[in-house]
């Protein structure tokens, strides 16, 4: 057998269940792979072999029994407080709801995954632990804020890791790292034990190599089966303005080609309020977090984060009230769209992962900081609460992954997974099965 972390999540689970793979050996091999690859990727910030082995010993006979997984540094686990990308504990250690769901499914938490400082960025290059590397090129950003989860999965260190998505933080790093990232419907997983439990925009979700693994892992997080269906014959709305405007040509082409390959009935539509989705997201997510920051937090922050907090404290109060009106406007607009269309689609990010040293992306209009460019694509899903998925659909001329985002009506995660699997099949699985350079055999 090849290294067990080269297997899919479901293959690991099947092999443990059948007895073909010893779960203890799987855990040991996983920890060894962390040692081997984390130096390049910096995707995992904490391991705890003793507690992981105890979790394995006590694992119930669930669908993920004995399978190692990662959990983002935003969730409490019984033996470690989350640090939220900073150097200090954000909330106490304990059993977060996400931890309980993983434990009850039989999974073994093998490591805590890296994230952008305070969850306040989509590049993953700012963290108390240093930048996260992209498995396709470790000098490039892995994305954020769940960059460690995406990098660990893309780098074949884990078959699955949990992310959280308050402004694209599951979908965006998934696109950068060429993995499948499913943002669940907001508030369908209990939020206790999550650093950003205060956020009305936040949702959780799996980062996995493909849709079938995301179905298995997402079922564990939701504590309900995400049953498979037929992803062909969908009606898909393409929201050109503003989500297909100013997109890198290689990204636009790959996304268009994927929609063509799927053979769906695709029509161009508009969504009232979409032009304000970026700023409405930024205003709500930043202002609602301000009461969370203590003087100790600010003292521990880097100069960039500290200055941004000060800027956010100057935001006019009316902007927040207006952002919430935009949210209502958008929720009504997408609800109306979903009366006709099964899904809406646009590129997950406007350009591929930028260099860590200069996280600026090239758009047809010129260079742009990655941050607003990314949140502009993702924020609508957080404002409205609808589920969304990043589907790997290509690579640019530098070999960096490209992702297509599909979003569906509230609680229609199954449809998104069906659609993603349909694209995988229609494109010969060449994007989800591609191995990044870090996973290639030496020599």
Partner 1 sequence: MDAFEQQVRAAMELAEQDVDDTDIAIMRVADEVYGSQVRALLAEDLHDVKPELDFDPSRAPTS
Backbone φ and ψ for 309, nearest 5 degrees, come out as -60, -40
Closest listed residue to residue 278, CA positions, set 203, 378, 198: 378
Interface stretch with partner 1, choices 35-43, 77-85, 86-94, 186-194 (CB under 8 A)? 186-194
When binding is defined by CB under 8 A, the residue of 384, 390, 407, 427 that contacts partner 1 is 384
When binding is defined by CB under 8 A, the residue of 53, 306, 363, 429 that contacts partner 1 is 306
Q: 326 in helix, strand or coil? A: helix
Nearer to partner 1, 47 or 377 (CB): 377
Q: Report angle CA 399, 400, 404 to the nearest 5 degrees.
A: 125
Residue 293 near partner 1 by CB under 8 A:
no
Nearer to partner 1, 53 or 332 (CB): 332
Least gap, CB of 247 to partner 1 (angstroms): 19
Residue 188 near partner 1 by CB under 8 A:
yes
Distance CA 342, CA 323 (A): 26
- 3-class SS shares of the chain: helix, strand, coil, % to 5: 40, 20, 40
Cis ω for the linkage preceding 145 (within 30 of 0): yes
Tokens (6 digits) for 412: 């229609």
When binding is defined by CB under 8 A, the residue of 3, 224, 325, 430 that contacts partner 1 is 325
Closest listed residue to residue 84, CA positions, set 115, 122, 126: 115
Residue 291 near partner 1 by CB under 8 A:
no
Least gap, CB of 187 to partner 1 (angstroms): 4
Alpha-carbon distances, residue 269 vs 1, 19, 231, 336 (angstroms) = 49, 51, 21, 11
When binding is defined by CB under 8 A, the residue of 332, 360, 363, 425 that contacts partner 1 is 332
Least gap, CB of 277 to partner 1 (angstroms): 10
Q: How many residues bind partner 1 (CB under 8 A)?
A: 45
H or E stretch including 408?
Answer: strand 401-408
Footprint of partner 1 on 53-72 (CB under 8 A): none
Least gap, CB of 325 to partner 1 (angstroms): 5
Footprint of partner 1 on 197-226 (CB under 8 A): 200-201
Footprint of partner 1 on 336-365 (CB under 8 A): 338
Interface stretch with partner 1, choices 12-20, 67-75, 124-132, 329-337 (CB under 8 A)? 329-337
What is the residue-wise DSSP string for 241-299? HHHTTT--HHHHHHHHHHHHHHT-EEEEE--TTGGGHHHHHHHHHHHTTGGG--HHHHH
Nearer to partner 1, 94 or 190 (CB): 190
Is the CB of residue 377 less than 8 Å from the CB of residue 347? yes
- Interface pattern 397-426 for partner 1 (x via CB under 8 A): ------------xxx---------------
Cβ neighbour number for residue 233 with a 10 Å cutoff: 11
Nearer to partner 1, 45 or 98 (CB): 98
Least gap, CB of 298 to partner 1 (angstroms): 9
Distance CA 76, CA 136 (A): 30
Residue 280 near partner 1 by CB under 8 A:
yes
Q: Report angle CA 31, 130, 147 to the nearest 5 degrees.
A: 65
Residue whose token pair is 């059993």 = 95
When binding is defined by CB under 8 A, the residue of 139, 227, 232, 328 that contacts partner 1 is 328
Closest listed residue to residue 379, CA positions, set 182, 202, 239, 208: 202
When binding is defined by CB under 8 A, the residue of 50, 61, 318, 397 that contacts partner 1 is 318
Residue 290 near partner 1 by CB under 8 A:
no
Closest listed residue to residue 148, CA positions, set 46, 32, 41: 41
Nearer to partner 1, 191 or 209 (CB): 191
Least gap, CB of 274 to partner 1 (angstroms): 13
Q: Which residues bind partner 1 (CB under 8 A)?
A: 185-188, 200-201, 273, 276, 278-280, 282-283, 303-304, 306-308, 310-311, 313-316, 318-319, 322-326, 328-329, 331-332, 335, 338, 369, 371-372, 384-385, 409-411
């Amino acid at each position: 057998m090849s290294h067990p972390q080269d297997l899919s999540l479901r293959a690991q689970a099947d092999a443990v269940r059948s007895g073909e793979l010893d779960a203890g050996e799987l855990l040991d091999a996983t920890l060894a792979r962390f040692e081997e690859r984390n130096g390049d990727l910096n995707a995992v910030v904490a391991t705890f072999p003793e507690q992981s082995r105890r979790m394995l010993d006590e694992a119930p006979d669930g669908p993920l029994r004995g399978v190692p997984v990662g959990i983002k540094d935003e969730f409490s686990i019984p033996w470690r407080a989350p640090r939220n990308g900073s150097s200090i504990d954000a909330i106490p250690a304990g059993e977060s709801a996400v931890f309980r769901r993983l434990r009850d499914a039989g999974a073994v938490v093998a490591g805590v995954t890296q994230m952008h400082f305070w969850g306040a960025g989509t590049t993953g290059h700012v963290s108390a632990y240093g930048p996260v590397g992209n498995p396709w090129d470790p000098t490039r950003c892995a994305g954020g804020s769940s960059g460690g989860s995406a990098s660990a999965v893309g780098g074949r260190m884990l078959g699955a890791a949990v992310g959280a998505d308050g402004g694209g933080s599951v979908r965006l790093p998934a696109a950068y790292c060429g993995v499948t990232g499913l943002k669940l419907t907001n508030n369908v997983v209990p939020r206790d034990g999550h650093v950003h439990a205060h956020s009305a925009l936040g949702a959780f979700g799996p980062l996995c190599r493909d849709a079938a693994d995301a179905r298995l892992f997402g079922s564990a997080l939701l504590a309900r089966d995400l049953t498979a269906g037929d992803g062909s014959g969908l009606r898909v709305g393409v929201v050109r303005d503003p989500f297909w405007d100013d997109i890198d040509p290689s990204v636009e082409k790959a996304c268009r080609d994927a929609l063509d390959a799927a053979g769906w009935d695709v029509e161009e539509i508009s969504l009232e309020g979409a032009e304000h989705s970026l700023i409405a997201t930024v205003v709500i997510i930043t202002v609602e977090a301000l009461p969370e920051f203590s003087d100790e937090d600010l003292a521990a922050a880097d100069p960039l984060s500290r200055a941004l907090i000060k800027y956010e404290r100057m935001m006019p109060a009316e902007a927040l009230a207006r952002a919430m009106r935009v949210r209502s406007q958008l929720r009504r607009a997408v609800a109306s769209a979903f009366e006709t269309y099964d899904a809406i689609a646009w590129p997950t990010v406007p350009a591929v992962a930028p260099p860590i040293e200069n996280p600026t992306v090239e758009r047809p209009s010129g260079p742009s900081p990655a941050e607003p460019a990314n949140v502009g694509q993702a924020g609508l899903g957080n404002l409205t609460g609808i589920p969304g998925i990043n589907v790997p659909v290509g690579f640019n001329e530098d070999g960096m992954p490209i992702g297509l985002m599909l979003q569906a009506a509230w609680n229609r995660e199954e449809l998104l997974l069906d659609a993603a699997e349909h694209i995988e099949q229609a494109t010969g699985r060449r994007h989800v099965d591609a191995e990044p350079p870090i996973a290639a055999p030496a020599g």
